[in-house]
A = this chain, B = another copy of it.
């Protein structure tokens, strides 16, 4: 890292996707400037200029070059500060492929199902969606047992790529449990993932990066009020 190294992260505190680069940068002990975007207001000039295609956070700006998409940013951080331990992706190609496969499962299948189930108005669709979400957690439990091989994390003894990916959603799961009594992290069904989730949240790298559950609960409540008020206006 030269003296002229400039690292800037655009995020919003609540976004699971924005949490990911934060954890990765902390793992690699990289100093950076954090810029909080306005969640409900207009997007900053810098965000629109850096990510004209999707106009979304997170964006990492490294020496004036933007890097986009949360897991892509995590890979970039891993490759750029590759001399700094720990390595975020595993070293063996097959383990790397597994980490990327399950991360894609979380982002393309599991979380979209949770999101769809959370916002649908139809009780039937909600029930069907939540079954899919629970089924996905059972598959992830099985993957965890196979990949972690008795270690606390998907990444082994330390947090790795897949921990960052799935772990970024743990706060939301815990907050929804508190807010709605929705028990997705159910010890009777997915004991290993439940233990993993607690290990993850209490890990030194993660502790001050992931927002407090109560703050997320409050925010989810606020989101619901906004949604209801939007509906009542139509």
A94 close to chain B: CB less than 8 A: yes
Q: Is A76 at the interface (CB under 8 A from chain B)? A: yes
A72 to B75, CA, bound (A): 13
CB-defined contacts of A105 to chain B, threshold 8 Å: 53
Quick one: given A53-B139, A139-B53, are A75 and B96 in contact (CB under 8 Å)?
A: yes
Report the copy number of this chain in the oligomer.
Answer: 2
Interface membership of A68, Cβ < 8 A: yes
Residues in A75-108 with C-beta less than 8 Å from chain B: 75-76, 79-80, 93-94, 96-97, 100-101, 104-105, 108
Given contacts A72-B100, A72-B104, A101-B72, contact A79 B53 (CB under 8 A): no
A53-B139, A100-B72, A105-B53 known; A80-B93 Cβ under 8 A: yes
- With A and B bound together, what is the CA distance between A212 and B142 in angstroms? 42
Nearest B-chain residue to A81, judged by Cβ: B93
A65 interfacial contact with B, CB 8 Å: yes
Are B68's CB and A101's CB within 8 A?
yes
Q: Which residues of B lie under 8 Å from residue A101 when comparing CB positions?
A: 67-69, 72
Within 8 Å by CB of A93, from B53, B76, B93, B94, lies B76
**Smallest distance from the beta carbon of A154 to chain B beta carbons, Å?**
16
Contact A69 B104 (CB under 8 A): yes
Q: Are A76 and B53 also in contact (CB < 8 A) when A68-B101, A101-B69, A104-B69 are?
A: no
CA of A69 to CA of B100 in the docked complex: distance in angstroms?
Answer: 9
In the bound complex, residues from chain B placing their C-beta under 8 Å from that of A104 are 69, 72
Q: Contacts A101-B72, A104-B72: A65 and B80 contacting too (C-beta < 8 A)?
A: no
16 A–B pairs (Cβ distance < 8 Å), ordered by A: A53-B139, A65-B94, A67-B94, A68-B97, A68-B101, A69-B101, A72-B97, A72-B100, A73-B97, A75-B97, A75-B100, A76-B97, A79-B93, A79-B96, A80-B93, A108-B108
